[in-house]
A and B are shown apart, each in its own frame.
Chain A
Amino acid sequence: MSFNINEFIDTKTLLYVALFSPLVSSLFAGIYGASPKKINVGVISSLLIFLSFLASVGLFLHLYFGGSVVNVMMMDWISAGDLKVPFGFVADHVSVTMMLVVTLVSTVVHFYSIGYMEKDKGFNRFFSYLSAFVFSMMFLVMSDNFLGLFIGWEGVGLCSWLLIGFWYEKESATWAANEAFIMNRIADLGMLIGIFMIYWTMGTLQYDEVFAKISSVPVDVVTMIAIFLFIGAMGKSAQFPLHTWLADAMEGPTPVSALIHAATMVTAGVYLVIRANEIFSLVPEVGFFIASLGAFVALFAATMALVNRDIKRVIAYSTLSQLGYMFVAGGLGAYWIALFHLVTHAFFKALLFLGAGNVMHAMEDELNIMKMGGLRKVMLGTAILMLIASVALSGIYPFAGFFSKDKILEVAFDTQHYILWGTLWLTAGLTAFYSFRVVMLVFFGSSRYKDFGIHPHEAHGFMLWAMTPLAVLAIVAGLFEHQFVEFVTKILPAYSFSEQIHETIGQLVIVTTSIAVTGIVIAVFSNMFREGLFSNAFRGNFFYKLLDNQYYIPKIYDEVFSKPYRELSELFWKSIDLKIVDATVDGIGKCLLSTGENTREMQSGNLSLMLRWMTIGLTILLLSAIGYTYADSILTLLQQGVAH
């Protein structure tokens, strides 16, 4: 089949449309930011994002049917000495994949938000922020140099901050927003240093030029670059120890959690590793570290998800865990598998969050899953959608999660990292368990919500329809694995499995699936017969407490960083700021003020005073004239003395 998109439209135009229609959408909604809710703002905004999606599809088709990579040099941005950074954009196989995911999920979330935010005062403002986020994310994935990537990186960070703190009247929301922003700043410093080092050693920031030169750079420098870039990725993708912000970020509106904190922004770190694969593949030690950290986070986050009673936090921890999976794949050099898991995960995780949003709406913003139960009777549509997402997340054939997650396990096994494999295998079981624990507690069992006087109701029909594309993709996306591999390996290194793995692959699949099924079965039965198996039997247990308090890490951070910092700040405030800085500034002000106070009378317009001042001025002038005369004669005398 031959198809050429160029016959219809110029690919560069498509690229610009894909990039800038979210910006237009954001500015359009921003105009109405302060005015009362206008449903049209949401609709037009969503349509503009949909336009961006269509343009991305166009670019995808162009590339899929053998078109060349689209490069656009919009204009020069920085041109100082040897440093030349243009606003350049590229639509290659990786960025188009990301663009598709970003715009698709964004479109769904935008349409969904029209319903979700319908009663919110900041309806227009919300769409402005959300579209600004899409623009930043598109900028991030489409840039053809590290500095452009960094702009997008900061842009999504800013939008994330705006959206987590969207309900800024809530103390906890602003706190969570600031936490996320500050943690990301810490990591961004690392990334910035990495970018500086790239420029320092190679004198350019363009991807292709950097990758062409990287092999001639000393390996220890490459190691440093890789580490610093990964620090940036750790912050944005909330890897340990910078993970605490993600769970707190759930303070934002749920569509935001779905779009930013599950499907797109948090995967930016993974995208960075994939994009810079030519750097990371040169230093396998760093890669192994990334993989180990990923595996650790996968297990670590999954255990925290086991006991949490907040529906959104459970999903957030699950996101953390899945990001860990992606980093394992990226770290072990299977970049396309990381990207594949990124894509499938975006679909089912966004779906899961939107479903949670429906539940929240139904439960009047109640998040505690212990207060729910039996909701399938009132919201069957949501129940089905969430069930699909959970099955996909658990990795059950033939759902999308199965294909991508299983591939990661295979890679770990194939590269003989059996500990990593074991960790991930265990995590797969835990994932299945906590996913179904949520589903069971929310949708099945007795209707506990009745005790709290809540009257749940199903979400709007169009919201469910908006979620349907995600549900479909969560089911079928895995089936396109072959085409996906073929598409992205045109620029990503293909990962070739060794010979032995082909023999054991069947057994591996069975082993993995069985633990997932076991997890599901335990979750189903424990909740079927004894509601809250863990919660009752293990509540006093040490491990339960440990997990419930998120390993006490937020507390440790508070004690180790926040409190000493606060004390230090108070010290500086009281001793340096007040006594030195303020005093200096005040002193200058007081000096001027008192000068003014004291000389004010000079300008009172009183003639006798003026005359007196005039006399004083005259006297000074006369004295200086006389002094000058004498000085002159003294000088003459001195010169005569020297001459003699």
Chain B
Amino acid sequence: MGSMIISLEHYLLLSSILFFIGLYGVIVRKNLLMLFFATEIMLNAVNVGLVAISNYYGDLTGQMFAFFIIAIAASEVAIGLGLLVIWFKRHNTVDLDSLQSMKG
């Protein structure tokens, strides 16, 4: 059952599917909290791809990148949530459209 062996393509395909799920969330949702969730999904999707490449080519660089991405994601969450809390305290909403102050 050689065809059943999981190749790099499988992982990359999974990675891109996950990325588009995250992208879909970013585009469609109007809830700011959901936006954060979707961003996390996209970051994780990239991580999957990086780690898969690292494994299939025997190179640690991919894992290093994933590692730093996780660090960035953590700080993003900390700062982003802080801002979100302030926003909610002020406007009592987490609706994305409430951020708009220009008429356009």
Binding site for B on A (CB under 8 A): 600-601, 603-608, 611-612, 615
Is A607 a contact of B104 with CB atoms below 8 Å?
A: no
Known: A605-B104, A606-B97, A611-B26. 20 other contacts (CB 8 A): A601-B104, A603-B104, A604-B100, A604-B104, A605-B99, A605-B100, A605-B101, A605-B102, A606-B96, A606-B100, A607-B96, A607-B97, A607-B99, A608-B27, A608-B30, A608-B96, A611-B27, A612-B27, A615-B23, A615-B26
Is A604 a contact of B27 with CB atoms below 8 Å?
A: no
Closest chain-A Cβ to B30's Cβ sits at a distance in Å of: 6
A-B contact count (CB 8 A): 32
Q: How many residues of B contact A (CB 8 A)?
A: 12
- Cβ contact of B104, chosen from A600, A611, A612, cutoff 8 A: A600
List B contacts of A611 (CB < 8 A): 26-27
Q: Is the interface of A mostly helix, strand, loop or mixed?
A: helix
Query: Whole-angstrom distance between the alpha carbons of A604 and B101 in the complex?
Result: 8
List B contacts of A604 (CB < 8 A): 100, 102-104
Is A608 a contact of B23 with CB atoms below 8 Å?
A: no
Within 8 A of A (CB), among B80-104: 96-97, 99-104
Chain B residue at minimum C-beta to C-beta distance from A618: B23
Query: Whole-angstrom distance between the alpha carbons of A606 and B99 in the complex?
Result: 7
Closest chain-A Cβ to B26's Cβ sits at a distance in Å of: 6
The 9 nearest A-B residue pairs measured at CB = A604-B104, A605-B102, A606-B100, A608-B96, A605-B100, A607-B99, A601-B104, A607-B96, A604-B102
Can you list 28 A-B pairs, Cβ within 8 angstroms, ordered by A?
A603-B102, A603-B104, A604-B100, A604-B102, A604-B103, A604-B104, A605-B99, A605-B100, A605-B102, A605-B104, A606-B96, A606-B97, A606-B99, A606-B104, A607-B96, A607-B97, A607-B99, A607-B100, A608-B27, A608-B30, A608-B96, A608-B97, A611-B26, A611-B27, A612-B27, A615-B23, A615-B26, A615-B27
List B contacts of A607 (CB < 8 A): 96-97, 99-100
Chain A residue at minimum C-beta to C-beta distance from B100: A606
List A contacts of B103 (CB < 8 A): 604
Chain A residue at minimum C-beta to C-beta distance from B30: A608
List A contacts of B100 (CB < 8 A): 604-607
Closest chain-A Cβ to B99's Cβ sits at a distance in Å of: 5
Query: Whole-angstrom distance between the alpha carbons of A606 and B95 in the complex?
Result: 11
List A contacts of B99 (CB < 8 A): 605-607
Closest chain-B Cβ to A619's Cβ sits at a distance in Å of: 9
List A contacts of B27 (CB < 8 A): 608, 611-612, 615
List B contacts of A615 (CB < 8 A): 23, 26-27
List B contacts of A601 (CB < 8 A): 104
List A contacts of B26 (CB < 8 A): 611, 615
Query: Whole-angstrom distance between the alpha carbons of A600 and B26 in the complex?
Result: 22
Within 8 A of A (CB), among B1-49: 23, 26-27, 30
Closest chain-B Cβ to A629's Cβ sits at a distance in Å of: 15
List B contacts of A606 (CB < 8 A): 96-97, 99-100, 104
Query: Whole-angstrom distance between the alpha carbons of A603 and B101 in the complex?
Result: 11
Chain B residue at minimum C-beta to C-beta distance from A611: B26
